[in-house]
Structure 1
Amino acid sequence: MNATTSIEVEAKFSAAPDSQVPELTTIDGVDSVLETTIHQLSARYYDTADLRLTRAKITLRRRTGGKDAGWHLKLPAESGRLEIGVPLNDGDETTPPAELLDLVRALVRDFPLAPIAQVDNERHESLLADGTGEVVAEFCDDHVTAWSLLSGGAKTQWREWEVELSGEHAPHNLLASAAEVLSAAGATPSDSPSKLKTALGESINNAPTPPGMAALDETSAAYAVINALRANRDRLIEMDPQVRRNEWDSVHQMRVATRELRSLMQTFEGILVGEEYARVAEELKVLAQVLGVARDAEVVHERFLMLLSLDDDHLIDADATAHLSQDMQHKYDRAHRYILASLNSERYFRMLDSLDNLIAHPPLAEVEEDLDVDEATPEKVHIDEQVVLFGHLEAAYRKLMKRHNKALKEWEDDSLALREREENFHNMRKAAKKLRYSADAVGRATSVQTKDLYAACKKMQSVLGDFQDSVTSRDELLHLAKRARAAGEDTFAYGVLYQRERHIGLRALEEYADAAREIEKAYRKLEKAVEKAATAKVKNRK
């Protein structure tokens, strides 16, 4: 199927049944009405039983009649609405196309979809043109009859005017001018963002709701903890359709979201407890590993292209050029296909369900049994939560410093293999990432400012990220060289590029010492703030 994609930028107005359409050429930028066509449209909207799409401001419909009959998925966009359409075929009329469902799989998962509303519309569509005869907008006079198919739903009728921009040359003030002209004719801005919401009316309140966030005291650390998990869960779901569409940098961003969510869960361990909590954290680890294979291939492919662009001495032969420019792309493509299989698996859907359940029903650790009931105040519980968070932060810092000292000590030890010494810096980078996420968690859940430590850890990640990319690139160059040798090809180019990558990596390490000092300085400052906050809490309790 050939999907079409467009951005809808429009304004909607409610009009009385007997309203007269005003002279449309009085709208700024409109010089003529080219033609008016009447379409008989009939659309059936689909959603889960708990209306996950509708509540996320997404609509999925099958529409007949008009010039774009087909399945349509409408998604929120930065400006207007993103509409993706797939033509009708002779297949099952009740099953949406997979290419549309893939874009909302993280929301609907494998839950059944059923009709929730039918909207029939007699549309009087007028094409509005500028002085050159180019269409700049469409005006639709819609006479709508709709039925909510939800429990308690009813038949409704209304009239609606829409003005939608067309082409690239529509005047920037056309919609504002149209609003003035249509308002003068008795229309009012529509209270509903879509025909579906109008059709459902009050019956939407009869549908069950998907799991939401637990009702907690918004001043508590527990609330901040759950809210942080919710935000990262939402980020993961946001990246899902972009990864499926293989958009640029999407795999990287979804991997970051997955790792950050898992790291937050580890940091919050002790506040949130239980086997299910630990299991979800492990599932996130598996997902990050799946994404990591494609991401590593993507990074190395980009580095190989960079190395090829630097070959002003023309030392890289044709065979090596072909391998460097193609092999890692093929590896990425294979890894991406595996990602898609994982994202369509029941295992992935159940992990998302478990995340929803943890956020809706957080397994908060209970107050110690020997704590007197009169002492179990919210303030007391908050202090316990903060102690857990600060404990994780301290442990993450100590682990980082241990790895830092090991990396420095062994770097100059030539008796150790180079790969082993380089691995120390990779472990240091992972420790910096862990400390960064822990600092972020503490900053979200307490009043302590952790921005300096967060920024220092991020800088260390960047320094060692450049270093690790060069190491990974060298590993792949060695692999390509071995394959080339076995095939009887010249391997000289791989040796040249290996040494270039070695030099790039060493240059990246030149910033390591400064980055380490910034982390230590930021942590010492934060440590004093933590002590001050703890003292203040104790005084407030007395």
Structure 2
Amino acid sequence: MAINKFHEVEIKFAVDGATTVPDLTRLPEVESIGSTREHRLSAIYYDTRDLRLTREKITLRRRTGGEDDGWHIKLPADSGRIELHAELGDPVNGVYHVPDDLLAQVRAIVRNHELAPVAQVDNHRTESTLCLADGTPIGEFCDDRVTAWSLLPGGAQTSWRECEVELAEPMIGTDIGADFLHSITELLIGAGARRSSSPSKLAAALGDSVDHAPVPAHLRDPDLDEDSAAAGVITALRANRDKLIEYDPKVRRDEWDSVHQMRVATRELRSHMETFDGVLAGEAIKQLLAELKILASILGRARDAEVVEERFHALLDAEDSDVIDATAREHIREDMGAEYRRAHRHVVAALDSDRYLDMLDAIDELLADPPLAGAHRLDEDEVTAATGRHAATDDADTDTSAAPAEEEPELSPEEVLLSHLEEAYRKLLKRHRRAVDNWDNHELTLHEREDYFHDMRKSAKKLRYAAEAVGAATRVKTKRLYKACKDLQSSLGDFQDSVTSRDKLVHLAQAADRRGESTFAYGLLYQRERFLGLQALEEYKDGVKQIKASFGRLKLTKKK
């Protein structure tokens, strides 16, 4: 079923029943009223029992009447909202069902929970199109007289009048559009209207009956001291969770950079859970770590294809020697796009799976009822890193069976988190030495030597996420370290992208050779990528220096 997408920017005004609408042609932007129509609209709004969509400021409705009969979903956007439409379709056994393509846009929120009617909103609408001097529509003015019923327990019937001003889509983001919204707001308020306090007709229809609905797991506050490190851990994980949910529908719509951002969100959540080991514990954590790793891998295949396609296009655009034949140019420009589309289909299939939806439920349950660890026992290096104390060692003269329990260090959640940060830093330094020491070791293949820098990039990423997690959950200021890690990760990311691009060029060249085609172009671009990779490594030394300096300052920057 086809889905139509619209960008909506509108302003709502509450008005009394007797308020007279002023002459809208008095507005400096409005030359004429293009048309005026009346509609009888009736909408049934759907949500889960715990109002998952409503709480996320999302509306899902089946509307009849007017010029856009059908199913509508309205989603929050950076400015205004995104509105998606699908055809009404035919009922099955007398029941209308939300179209699958439309439901996919909120699958990460709804999951496998049943959608049912929660409100009915009937509206007598008078709709006027407002036009510029050249006849171009600038917006629509709607005078709505609404009667609504909440279908929730404790719900009631309500009636009100409101006016909506919706900007014509071509005017969104323009100066004239902004000026129009400002001037019509002044005009309507001067005529007795008020900016509406309700975000939507659904919210007004439900009213206080929302208080009778259960609260979803991820919105339930765990029983924790709000100033504790454990509470900080949950706050940080909730932010990770929200970012993952935010990018799910964008990935499904294949919005630009969405796969990359969802992959980052997945990795951040997984890395933070690892950093919080010792504050959180149990089989649920282990299972979530495994599931997040699988999801990141699926997203990674699509992201790699996307990056290589972009690099191939840039290489072709920069090549002005006219030595790349048309056949090779077509393969270089098109083949990775086809690979990305295949990978993206696999991503969407994974997002539709019960396994993924169960993982989201498990994350929400963890936030509502976090599995806090008991006393955390660390090895000697971890104890030294976190507390400056050395753990007792076993030797022939030590009777460990008689050692009192209080001699073993019991670290606070904050000390546990700092120990993980220290451990991540030590691993980064170890991998740094290995990468530098082996760069000129020609007993290793080029790929083996480059892999050490790939490992270094993963360490920088791990330290960055650990710094972010510690900064969010403790009183340690880690922003400088986070930035230093991000900068190094970026330059090493450019290096690794060049390596991945070269690998794909080799595969394309091998395929071209099997077809009996010239492989010269692939070798030419391979060498260009080799050069670009070496350029990216030029920032490496300074990047490591900044990480060392930033980590060295951490003990001096604890909040008072």
Structure-1-length-normalised TM-score: 0.91
2:176 aligned with 1:196 = no
Structure 1 residues 451, 187: CA separation in 2 closer, same or farther (over 3 Å shift)? closer
**Which residue, 137, 145, 153 being the options, matches 2:147?**
145
Aligned residue in 1 for 2:41: 41
Aligned residue in 2 for 1:227: 235
Q: How many residues align?
A: 521
Please give the per-residue CA displacement for 1:253-292, whole angstroms capped at 9, x wherever unaligned: 1111111110000000100111001111111110000001
Counterpart residue identity of residue 244, structure 2:
L
Pairing of 1:112-151 with structure 2 (within 5 A): 112-151=114-153
Structure 1 residues 325, 136: CA separation in 2 closer, same or farther (over 3 Å shift)? closer
Please give the per-residue CA displacement for 1:68-123, whole angstroms capped at 9, x wherever unaligned: 11111111222222222123233545211222211111111121111111111111
Q: CA deviation at 1:168?
A: 4.1
Distance in 2 between residues matched to 1:434 and 1:199, nearest whole Å: 47
**Which residue, 479, 501, 517 being the options, matches 1:451?**
479
Q: Verify the 8 A CA contact 2:375 2:411 in the aligned structure 1.
A: no
Distance in 1 between residues matched to 2:155 and 2:264, nearest whole Å: 43
Counterpart residue identity of residue 83, structure 2:
E
Distance in 2 between residues matched to 1:442 and 1:467, nearest whole Å: 28
Q: CA deviation at 1:37?
A: 1.8
SS of the aligned residue for 2:152 comes to: coil
Please give the per-residue CA displacement for 1:289-338, whole angstroms capped at 9, x wherever unaligned: 00011111111111222222232222322332222112111111111110
Aligned residue in 2 for 1:474: 502
Aligned residue in 1 for 2:215: 209
Q: Verify the 8 A CA contact 2:43 2:64 in the aligned structure 1.
A: yes
2:425 aligned with 1:397 = yes
Q: CA deviation at 1:191?
A: 2.4
Counterpart residue identity of residue 320, structure 2:
D
Distance in 2 between residues matched to 1:308 and 1:167, nearest whole Å: 35
The worse-fitting range, judged by mean Cα deviation, of 395-404 and 164-173 is 164-173
Distance in 1 between residues matched to 2:4 and 2:427, nearest whole Å: 51
Counterpart residue identity of residue 514, structure 1:
D
Distance in 2 between residues matched to 1:462 and 1:114, nearest whole Å: 46
2:178 aligned with 1:172 = yes
Q: CA deviation at 1:28?
A: 4.2
Aligned residue in 2 for 1:182: 188
**Which residue, 108, 111, 125 being the options, matches 2:110?**
108
Distance in 1 between residues matched to 2:483 and 2:35, nearest whole Å: 59
Q: CA deviation at 1:491?
A: 1.9
Q: Verify the 8 A CA contact 2:60 2:73 in the aligned structure 1.
A: yes
Structure 1 residues 173, 299: CA separation in 2 closer, same or farther (over 3 Å shift)? closer
Distance in 2 between residues matched to 1:73 and 1:171, nearest whole Å: 24
Structure 1 residues 496, 111: CA separation in 2 closer, same or farther (over 3 Å shift)? same
Pairing of 1:80-119 with structure 2 (within 5 A): 80-90=80-90, 92=92, 94-119=96-121
Structure 1 residues 319, 30: CA separation in 2 closer, same or farther (over 3 Å shift)? closer
SS of the aligned residue for 2:248 comes to: helix
Structure 1 residues 483, 32: CA separation in 2 closer, same or farther (over 3 Å shift)? closer
Q: CA deviation at 1:382?
A: 12
SS of the aligned residue for 2:178 comes to: coil
Measured on the aligned residues, the alpha-carbon RMSD in Å equals 2.2
Aligned residue in 2 for 1:373: none
Structure 1 residues 474, 79: CA separation in 2 closer, same or farther (over 3 Å shift)? closer
Q: Verify the 8 A CA contact 1:220 1:382 in the aligned structure 2.
A: no
Distance in 2 between residues matched to 1:26 and 1:516, nearest whole Å: 63
Counterpart residue identity of residue 144, structure 1:
V
Counterpart residue identity of residue 210, structure 1:
P
Structure 1 residues 173, 309: CA separation in 2 closer, same or farther (over 3 Å shift)? closer
Distance in 2 between residues matched to 1:298 and 1:192, nearest whole Å: 41
Unaligned runs of 5+ in 2: 378-408
Distance in 1 between residues matched to 2:103 and 2:169, nearest whole Å: 28
Please give the per-residue CA displacement for 1:468-519, whole angstroms capped at 9, x wherever unaligned: 1111112112212222222222222222222222222222222222222222
Unaligned runs of 5+ in 1: 370-380, 537-542
Pairing of 1:13-28 with structure 2 (within 5 A): 13-28=13-28
Q: Verify the 8 A CA contact 2:4 2:86 in the aligned structure 1.
A: yes
Distance in 2 between residues matched to 1:503 and 1:225, nearest whole Å: 43
Q: Verify the 8 A CA contact 2:271 2:462 in the aligned structure 1.
A: yes
Aligned residue in 2 for 1:376: none
Q: CA deviation at 1:351?
A: 0.5
Percent of paired sites with the same residue: 57
SS of the aligned residue for 2:541 comes to: helix
Pairing of 1:314-393 with structure 2 (within 5 A): 314-366=322-374, 384-393=412-421
The worse-fitting range, judged by mean Cα deviation, of 153-162 and 260-269 is 153-162
Q: CA deviation at 1:522?
A: 1.7
Q: Verify the 8 A CA contact 1:135 1:167 in the aligned structure 2.
A: no
Aligned residue in 2 for 1:529: 556
Pairing of 1:405-444 with structure 2 (within 5 A): 405-444=433-472
Structure-2-length-normalised TM-score: 0.88
The worse-fitting range, judged by mean Cα deviation, of 274-283 and 188-197 is 188-197
